[in-house]
Amino acid sequence: MESLTKLEELVLIAVLKLKEEAYGTSIYKHILGLTGRDVTVSNVYFPLERLVRKGYLQAVQGEPTPTRGGMSKRYYQITKSGLAVLQENRALNSAAWRGVAGLIKRVKV
Amino acid sequence: MHPPRPARFLLKVLASRRDKAYLGDVQEIYFGLAERLGDGAADRWYWREALKSLPRFIAESIRWSLIMFKNYFKTAVRHIRRDKGYSFLNMAGLAIGMACFVLLMMWVQDEINWDLFHKNSRLLYRLKSNMVSQPAPLGPYLKTKYPEIANTVRFYFSEPLMMKYEEKYLDEDGFVLADPSVFEMFTITFLAGDPATAFVNPDSVVLTEDAAKKYFGNANAVDRVLIVENRFPVRVTGVVKTPPRNSDIQFDILGEFRILGHFKKGYENHWGNHEYQTYVQLAKGATAAMVVPKIANVVKDHLSIMTTPLTLMPLSRIHLYEDGAIQYVAIFSLVALFILAIAACNFINLTTARSGRRAKEIAVRKVVGAVRSQLVKQCLGESVLLSLGALLIALVVVALVFPSFNVLTGKNFSLGFLLGHGLFLYLLGTAVAIGIISGAYPAFLLSSFRPAGLFKGGRPRTGRLSGGNRFRKALVVAQFAISIGLMISTLFIHRQLSFIRDFDLGIQKENVVYLPVKEPILKSRDSFVDELTSRPGIVNVSFASSLPSYVGNSASGAGWEGKDPNFRPSWPFVSTDDRYLDTLGIKVIEGSNFPTSEETIKAPRFIVNQKALQEMKIKNPIGARFSLWGVQGTIIGVIKNFHYRPLRESVQPLLLFILPEMYSHVLVKIRPENGNVDEILTRIKDVWDRFAPGFPFSYEFLDASYDRVYATERRMNSEFKYFTFLGIFISCLGLVGLAAFVAEQKRKEISIRKVLGASLGGILRQINKEFLAPILLSNLIAWPLAFWGMKTWIRSYSYHAGLSPLIFVVAALSTLFIALVTVSLQSLKAARENPVDALRCE
């Protein structure tokens, strides 16, 4: 199984959730909403490109709008293998987190 | 309302090339923020985005350029390998050009750094009046009298002397005397002994390491004793490093100045005898301009006659300006640049010519998204790569030809020299510059093509191509113009040299052998002469104070009846005997030769040359009273002018008289029959050994001494020959490449012509015609330039060969011939091809 970085995972989930509306700005806003201030747009773009290269995402050229300075949007759609890798990651995550909640409460450091 | 400009610029530069969507998103978010939270917050956000992204973007772009570089490098190497012949031509031409440039620049570097290795070189000056030598008391006088002058040193460059160590006799022509201050003023490194004490005792000498080896082998030299001229001993007190070759202060043995007392009595107070090169070291803070007015008249005040005022010549300028090296430095720098220019033209030409072939590659690169700046970078990178490769080859070539180049130039270069002078970095810069300059044209030309056009025609639009052709032809014209110019110069220098060689100097210099005068021979000179002339094959023998090839000594203070009191002549002179004129075949015009030497010594007589007579402005010279150095005498004869200085100078006055103490050479006129020169020389040696036992016999031919006078010219001639040849060779390499290119471009045309019945000759003519015009044009450009250059050079000669038009014609015809042969060999290949091969591919 191909392992994803946390950011890649977040980005992939964001694309899935945003459905037809998944492009740079919306993904950035989504992740910003999740994590707080410490994200830049380029931070989102590098994992996006990597995911496209790996074949988990597929990019589609959108329409340019005036607020974008005439530059077109690039929409992202999740691919089959993207779904599969997300599935696997989810399984891995929940397996890894099983029983952790109780531990966190009990263990004293 | 706009994002902050600098930040926007930053992002654009870093990201735009790859990602428009990214920039669009940033813009969208910015405007959203500006609407909700105001411009300030939006600007802050924008800055944060830009700055925080910076490291990632930079890392990313480096990664990509490395990837692209790998790709460029790969394609470059593939191109070089695919067209081996072409790449070889291209690199070889540039490498040869660079090698020439390196060699010539080394030569120039060496000349302009002459004597600058002395630590005090900026403070050292040589005293100069109308001559470089000064009277002996001058140095010490200046040092005690003027606080601005920190130190002075006198040099006396002795005639060759005979040295004896144990039973071994050796001729020493590097015997130089100097004051002890020499070690403080000049940088002389001691290997043994101590500079502070080396010259404390009189009759002390220091030897160079080479001289020490010559005399004592590997044994310790210090404290050994040498006998000079069988007369007096000197003690070795030190061994020093041999002076670097690029110094005017050359010696094998450096002796303490007082040794001079063995040769000349009373020299310390003799202000009238200019024989000692004198250097001064100025005190810190003093300048030449301050000192010169104070010392200008020192010699005059002591001699109470008019002399040329003293000036100071900086050490750094002596070699370049006094010895006249600057002329050669200028000429050779120019030649170096020319050759490099030829090579660079070549490189540009061949690269451009080939670029058409790569049109498809460029088109594909453009289609898959290469932008222009990437293509430019790729082309430039490739040509820089090639030119660095050429530099590498050039350095290997330079290393290989070092020995021959040293023989050619009489210098002593090594690779260490190249690295030691920072010349290498300079070269690296030059190579990169050539790469960029020569890559620039094809880079911008090619990257400007439109892909569709490139695909369709297989090569760039015709308008562009013919433009490129014009440019290439201009380069060919420039190349050949330089080559032709060099060729004309070479032919002309050669002509001038043979003109000098065959010039009627007014004396018969052939078959004259000269020997040094040694004391026992001077004592019994009459019987020595009688003995020599009694032997078969020996015609005449004469003594003289200098060789007729170069009379350096001048006498001032000559006087005669009716002399203008303001006229202070300083005339070259030869002290000789009554057989001088016969030995050298000099014609007497008026009056007669000296009577016998004894008679002349009793009643002094003088002989002058025509030029002197002219300057004396007297009607009846014969019998006129004439005085020199307080000696009263009469003029007995006037001789025809003969040339006793290089032909650069016009004939000067000359004075002959008889003063045996000044004799330094014996001239022996021989008459060899059926080439038995060796026999005659053996006879001379027999007599020598009888009269000067214990003095080794050494001789030289007078002709050879003339060769030495013109050594620089001869050297320049041979250097020019090689570099001209190479220049033409490089130009031809370029022509080969270009002709091959044209032949290939016209492959189909040639085939069609052949099918339609054109003959081989006709096709050759047609291709040759294309190259004929540029080469004729280069001739037209080169002629006036070469004419002007040679006119300038020749001005330094009072006597010179005319600028024969034949030289120009020869240069034109030979370049034309070479060029046509080169082109024909290339086009012949194309012309002999079977038309089917060229035509069927469509």
For residue A1, being part of any structural domain is answered with: no
For residue A27, being part of any structural domain is answered with: yes
By the 10 Å C-beta count (0-12 exposed, 13-18 middle, 19+ buried), A34 is classed as exposed
* Strands of B586-716, DSSP E: 588-591, 605-609, 625-628, 631-639, 655-657, 665-670, 700-701
- The distance of Cα B147 from the centroid of its chain, to the nearest Å, equals 39
Given CB atoms, is B10 within the 8 Å cutoff of chain A? no
Residues whose CB is less than 8 angstroms from the CB of residue B462 and which lie 6 or more positions away in sequence, other chains included: none
Q: Return the CATH number at A71.
A: 1.10.10.10
For residue A93, being part of any structural domain is answered with: yes
Coil, strand or helix at B816: helix
pLDDT band at B581 (very low <50, low <70, confident <90, very high): confident
Partner-chain contact B27 A67, CB within 8 Å: yes
Give the per-residue pLDDT at B455. Answer: 61
Give the per-residue pLDDT at B421. Answer: 65
Return the amino acid letter for A93: N
CA-based nearest distance A80→chain B, Å: 24
Q: Could you tell me which of B654, B508, B666, B644 has the C-alpha nearest to residue B586? A: B508
CA-based nearest distance B22→chain A, Å: 7
Structure tokens at B599: 């008679």
Would you kindly state where each structural domain of chain B is located, as residue ranges? Answer: 5-76, 124-322, 325-501+711-839, 512-706
CA-based nearest distance A85→chain B, Å: 25
Residues whose CB is less than 8 angstroms from the CB of residue B750 and which lie 6 or more positions away in sequence, other chains included: B743, B763, B830, B831, B833, B835, B838
3-state SS string for B401-464: HHHHHHHHHCCCCCHHHHHHCCHHHHHHHHHHHHHHHHHHHHHHHHHCCCHHHHHHHCCCCHHH
pLDDT in tens, B504-548: 778 888 888 888 888 788 888 888 888 888 888 888 888 888 888
CA distance linking residue B632 with residue B119, whole number of Å: 50
* Strands of B709-805, DSSP E: none
Given CB atoms, is B15 within the 8 Å cutoff of chain A? yes
Q: Could you tell me which of A80, A77, A88, A76 has the C-alpha nearest to residue A4? A: A88
CA-based nearest distance A100→chain B, Å: 35
CA-based nearest distance A72→chain B, Å: 6
CB B653 within 8 A of CB B609: yes
**Greatest alpha-carbon span in chain B:** 125
Partner-chain contact A72 B20, CB within 8 Å: yes
For residue A20, being part of any structural domain is answered with: yes
CB pairs under 8 A between A and B: 63
pLDDT in tens, A28-70: 888 888 887 678 888 888 888 888 888 899 888 887 777 777 7
Partner-chain contact B21 A71, CB within 8 Å: yes
Structure tokens at B364: 């594909």
CB B601 within 8 A of CB B684: no
Residues of B in contact with A57 (CB under 8 A): none
Residues whose CB is less than 8 angstroms from the CB of residue B14 and which lie 6 or more positions away in sequence, other chains included: B53, B54, B57, B58, B61
Q: Which residues pair with B513 in a beta bridge?
A: B668, B701
Q: Could you tell me which of B742, B829, B771, B751 has the C-alpha nearest to residue B354? A: B742
Give the per-residue pLDDT at B219. Answer: 85
CA dist B760 to B745, B749, B765, B820, B840, Å? 17, 13, 9, 15, 21
Q: Which residues pair with B261 in a beta bridge?
A: none
CA distance linking residue B740 with residue B824, whole number of Å: 10
pLDDT in tens, B766-820: 878 878 888 888 888 988 888 888 888 777 777 777 778 888 888 888 888 888 8
Q: A80: domain range? A: 6-106
Partner-chain contact A43 B53, CB within 8 Å: yes
| Position B665 pLDDT exceeds 90 | no
CB B324 within 8 A of CB B408: no
| Position B279 pLDDT exceeds 90 | yes
Partner-chain contact B25 A23, CB within 8 Å: yes
Residues whose CB is less than 8 angstroms from the CB of residue B256 and which lie 6 or more positions away in sequence, other chains included: B177, B178, B179, B180, B199, B201, B202, B203, B204, B205
Return the amino acid letter for B269: N
pLDDT band at B464 (very low <50, low <70, confident <90, very high): very low
The total number of structural domains that make up chain A: 1
Residues of B in contact with A64 (CB under 8 A): 24
CA distance linking residue B313 with residue B293, whole number of Å: 14
Backbone CA torsion sign across B266, B272, B278, B280: positive
Given CB atoms, is B12 within the 8 Å cutoff of chain A? no
Given CB atoms, is B22 within the 8 Å cutoff of chain A? yes
Partner-chain contact A23 B21, CB within 8 Å: yes
Which of B24, B31, B53 comes nearest A42 by C-beta?
A: B53
Give the per-residue pLDDT at B78. Answer: 84
> What's the complex ipTM?
0.83
The mean of the pLDDT values for chain B is 81
Q: Could you tell me which of B551, B565, B568, B631 has the C-alpha nearest to residue B129? A: B568
Given CB atoms, is B25 within the 8 Å cutoff of chain A? yes
Give the per-residue pLDDT at B179. Answer: 92
Residues whose CB is less than 8 angstroms from the CB of residue B94 and which lie 6 or more positions away in sequence, other chains included: B343, B344, B346, B347, B386, B387, B390, B394, B434
For B57, which residue in chain A has the nearest alpha carbon?
A: A42
Partner-chain contact B26 A23, CB within 8 Å: no
Partner-chain contact B23 A69, CB within 8 Å: yes
Which of A42, A43, A68 comes nearest B28 by C-beta?
A: A68
pLDDT in tens, B294-337: 888 887 777 766 667 888 889 888 888 877 778 788 888 888 88
CA distance linking residue B133 with residue B153, whole number of Å: 12
Which of A29, A41, A73 comes nearest B49 by C-beta?
A: A41
Tokens 């297989």 belong to B458
CA distance linking residue B134 with residue B136, whole number of Å: 6
